Amino acid sequence: GLLLWLSGGAIDLLDEHYWQPPWLGLAEDGFRSSGMVLVVMGCLQVMRQVCDVYGQMATQAMSDELTRLPNRRYFRQMLNEQWLPGSAMLMIDLDHFKRINDDGGHDVGDRVLQDFARLLHAQCPAGGWVARLGGEEFAMLLRGDADEALRIAEAIRAAAAASRTVDDVQYSASIGLAVWQQGEAVGEMMRRADQALYRA
């Protein structure tokens, strides 16, 4: 498109300084018009590709590549922007994960993480958020009271204990639960859930 546009300009320049046949004048208009249209179309295509790349990069920055769950950055963002009083938080950790990696290798460990991520996604109720914070540690933000959060935590624990991966690896999970208290900051609730996880 740019080449056609420049060709039209070059022909116009020749027309100003030299004689040219009438048919070349028609070609000049065609070259210039076609070139302008193609340049605009090319610019739109480049803009579309830039937007696609930006969207992919934004998604990668907020999600965990292995498990496809949101990552710590996205989870903290959601906590700061969308959490509500009456929320409960689960901090979840796979037990003895280093032993799984040592016995089966990191590929087996990765499949355990992927299997557990699918389990958490299936157990997460509507309106809840689940994320991988790093390593074998996960978190879930729930809407509802302590009894409902405790029921979900127990369902996750039982489902993990009953599961086996494609490598026939059995694993278990420990869970810490904290329910939002009046006047409490998000970071404090997260700290209490983490302490409960450590005790578990």
Range in 6-10, 75-79, 155-159, 166-170 the model is least confident about: 6-10
pLDDT at position 59 over 80 = no
From CA 35, how far away is CA 4, in angstroms rounded? 5
Average pLDDT over residues 148-173: 94
Order of strands, sheet of 173-179, starting from the edge strand that comes earlier in the sequence: 129-134, 137-143, 87-94, 173-179
d(CA 93, CA 88): 17
148-152-154 Cα angle (round to 5): 115
Is position 136 annotated as part of the catalytic site? yes
Q: Which of 16, 65, 136, 154 is catalytic?
A: 136
Banded pLDDT at 97 (limits 50, 70, 90): very high
- Flag whether the pTM goes above 0.85: no
Cβ neighbors of 190 (< 8 A, separation 6 or more) are 79, 89, 91, 139, 178
**Across the strands, what pairs with 175?**
92
**Mean pLDDT to the nearest integer, 70-76:** 89
| pLDDT(19) > 80 | no
What is the per-residue pLDDT for 21?
58
